[in-house]
Amino acid sequence: DQQVKQNSPSLSVQEGRISILNCDYTNSMFDYFLWYKKYPAEGPTFLISISSIKDKNEDGRFTVFLNKSAKHLSLHIVPSQPGDSAVYFCAASGTGGFKTIFGAGTRLFVKA
């Protein structure tokens, strides 16, 4: 069951540059998308979300873009900082659904 896909298992970026993490989904019933960040030995921490009625949501250094026709979303982090190094999970849910489906995660390395 690969309803939410993160095809890049890892990404390495220089400090100060932009990090772009990508996510694709297959279920057209999804209408709410989230990004979670996870450090080792901790639970996922909510980062940012976007509803399907929007195509962009911004919170400080983090921006999520949604392309519904392509069933694609991306998370932009700019400028990237070493503390951003973590695993980032894309997740999706549908209205009325009681579960959130997670992607496999992308490990981001931000080099100082």
Show contacts with another protein in window 26-45 (CB under 8 A): 31-32, 34, 36, 41-45
Can you tell me the distance from the alpha carbon of 14 to that of 1, in angstroms, rounded to the nearest whole number? 34
The interface mask with another protein, positions 53-92, x = CB under 8 A, is: ------------------------------------x---
- Indicate whether 98 belongs to the interface with another protein (CB under 8 A): yes
Pairing mode of beta strands 106-111, 10-14: parallel
| Burial zone of 76 (CB within 10 Å; 0-12 exposed, 13-18 middle, 19+ buried) | middle
Indicate which single residue of 69, 83, 99, 112 sits in contact with another protein (rule: CB under 8 A).
99
